[in-house]
């Protein structure tokens, strides 16, 4: 491991991918922070709660389709490792077509889903009305959001991290400017925040498609449209995506249950939890930048059957991920109060959020390992093992959630930290089993 850590070319390759992706990923929670800061300085807590709940509903729908990115990354990385230009084009075409089909299905289900979810939460009348207004507007971005997932995954698979960086920075800057204009300038409230996100998502898709053209020229080939009409050519991608979907469904269900339970504890609690979870989003997006490097480098090493390259990529990425998690933990421990006050000045929300800051400081040290291992399994297209690990985690975490239910919001955070720890342990155990069988470089993955 020490020899692998000293391998300078691997450090350069990791940061050539992780650096741009960390910058682009961090721009995503910065937009959420701007949304919270703008809405959080409006006079009523239910307005901030509406953005939190409405965003959670949209995120639950969209992130359940996160397999569009993860599946594309693994297959594109392995095709790049083989130098297969036609395979790369097939992965992109399949990802975009699948995104369009899923957007139609989810769009038809979204409105009844939102009404049912809000009835379950039993929010105040003001929170219910504002949430529905935000969510229904935000749905207009769903096709672009899903297509962007597929494009970003494809770019990462080709080890092109600059294109996603360019797309995310430009469109998120647009989102921030429009948010300030619509909410503060035009006084459109929570609907103005949703409209800003819609315009930014469609701008991101247009820019991503434009940047894909030079990326394709680096891998000569053509799309076999006849092959796309044959079912067996879709089975590998759909099989991986099915398993990642089930895994993501469980994960997003946990995040959604946090919002549901917070809403039952009051408007101030759901708003405070949303501000704290913005910190988790910041952590996740930064650590995901290193996980994306693991996906691309490990996928390419597996495609080329390079055992040493696979091991070096994992060791170097693990070292940097640990250092980043320690930095985040110290940052939230020392300056967590400033982080919360940047987002809101509502006294009731501040009082609740301050009480739970220690959980946020502990979270990066617990969560880092699951993000790193996710990257390895995605790069290897080991989606079935990821699904099994997540299902096992949910089963093991359920008794903890039941035991801590009576502790209110403290119990909610304790059970969430336990869930994140179990995610890492189950993935590590399955990874060790695969290593014992020598299965990481097995043909067909």
Which is higher by pLDDT, 322 or 122?
322
What's this model's pTM, rounded to 2 decimal places? 0.66
Residue 417, pLDDT above cutoff 80:
yes
CA distance linking residue 363 with residue 353, whole number of Å? 15
The C-alpha R_g of the chain, in whole angstroms, comes to: 21
pLDDT, one tens digit per residue, over 191-235 is 788 888 889 888 888 898 888 888 777 777 777 777 677 776 677
**Is 13 strand, coil or helix?**
helix
| pLDDT level of residue 31 (50, 70, 90 thresholds) | low
Quick one: pLDDT at residue 341? 85
Q: Looking at residue 396, what is its pLDDT? A: 92
pLDDT band at 154 (very low <50, low <70, confident <90, very high): confident
Asked if the model's pLDDT at residue 270 lies above 80, the reply is: no
Residue range 101-111: mean pLDDT, rounded: 86
Query: Crossing angle, helix 347-355 and helix 357-379, to 10 degrees?
Result: 70
Residue 399 contacts by C-beta under 8 Å, 6 or more apart in sequence? none
Share of residues in the chain with pLDDT > 90 (%): 9
Band of the pLDDT at 443, cuts 50, 70, 90?
Answer: very low
Q: Which own/partner contact pairs does 366-370 have at CB distance under 8 Å and 24+ positions apart?
A: 366/417, 366/420, 366/421, 366/424, 367/280, 367/283, 367/284, 367/287, 367/325, 367/420, 367/424, 368/287, 368/321, 368/322, 368/324, 368/325, 369/424, 369/427, 369/428, 370/420, 370/423, 370/424, 370/427
Report the pLDDT averaged over residues 345-366: 87
| pLDDT higher than threshold 50 for residue 445 | no
Q: Percentage of the chain surpassing pLDDT 70?
A: 90
DSSP conformation letters of 187-242: --HHHHHHHHHHHHHHHHHHHHHHHHHHHHHTS-----HHHHTSGGGTHHHHHHHH
CB atoms within 10 A of CB 225: 10
Q: Which of 113-121's residues contact partners 24+ apart within 8 Å by CB, and which partners?
A: 113/57, 113/61, 114/57, 117/57, 117/256, 117/260, 118/53, 120/260, 121/53, 121/259, 121/260, 121/263, 121/264
Average pLDDT, the chain: 80
């Amino acid at each position: 491991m020490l020899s692998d850590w000293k391998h300078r070319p691997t450090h350069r390759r990791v940061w050539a991918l992780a650096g741009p992706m960390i910058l682009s990923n961090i721009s995503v929670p910065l937009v959420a922070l701007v949304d919270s800061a703008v809405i959080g300085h409006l006079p009523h807590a239910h307005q901030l709660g509406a953005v939190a709940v409405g965003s959670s509903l949209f995120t639950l729908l969209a992130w359940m389709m996160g397999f569009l990115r993860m599946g594309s990354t693994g297959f594109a990385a392995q095709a790049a490792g083989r130098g297969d230009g036609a395979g790369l084009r097939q992965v992109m075409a399949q990802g975009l077509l699948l995104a369009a089909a899923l957007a139609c299905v989810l769009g038809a289900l979204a409105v009844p889903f939102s009404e049912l979810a809000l009835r379950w939460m039993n929010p105040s009348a003001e929170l219910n009305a504002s949430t529905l207004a935000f969510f229904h507007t935000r749905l207009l971005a769903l096709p672009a959001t899903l297509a962007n997932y597929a494009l970003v995954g494809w770019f990462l698979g080709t080890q092109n991290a600059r294109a996603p960086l360019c797309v995310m920075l430009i469109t998120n800057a647009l989102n921030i400017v429009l948010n300030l204009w619509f909410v503060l300038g035009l006084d459109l409230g929570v609907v103005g925040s949703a409209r800003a996100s819609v315009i930014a998502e469609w701008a991101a898709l247009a820019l991503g498609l434009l940047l894909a053209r030079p990326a394709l020229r680096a891998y000569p080939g053509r799309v076999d449209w006849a092959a796309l009409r044959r079912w067996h050519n879709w089975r590998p991608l759909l099989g991986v995506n099915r398993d990642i979907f089930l895994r993501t469904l469980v994960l997003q269900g946990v995040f959604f249950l946090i919002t549901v339970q917070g809403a039952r504890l009051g408007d101030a609690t759901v708003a405070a939890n949303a501000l704290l979870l913005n910190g988790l989003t910041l952590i996740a997006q930064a650590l995901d930048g290193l996980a994306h490097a693991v996906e691309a480098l490990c996928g390419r090493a597996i495609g080329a059957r390079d055992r040493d390259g696979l091991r070096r990529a994992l060791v170097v990425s693990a070292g940097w991920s640990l250092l980043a998690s320690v930095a985040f933990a110290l940052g939230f421990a020392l300056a967590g109060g400033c982080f919360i006050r940047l987002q809101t000045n509502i006294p009731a929300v501040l009082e609740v959020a301050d009480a739970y800051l220690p959980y946020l400081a502990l979270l990066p040290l617990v969560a880092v390992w699951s993000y790193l291992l996710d990257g390895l399994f995605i790069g290897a297209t080991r989606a079935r093992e990821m699904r099994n690990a997540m299902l096992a985690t949910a089963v093991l975490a359920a008794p903890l959630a039941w035991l801590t239910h009576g502790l209110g919001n403290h119990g909610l955070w304790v059970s969430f930290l336990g869930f994140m720890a179990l995610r890492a342990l189950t993935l590590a155990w399955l990874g060790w089993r695969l290593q014992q069988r020598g299965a990481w470089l097995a043909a067909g993955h």
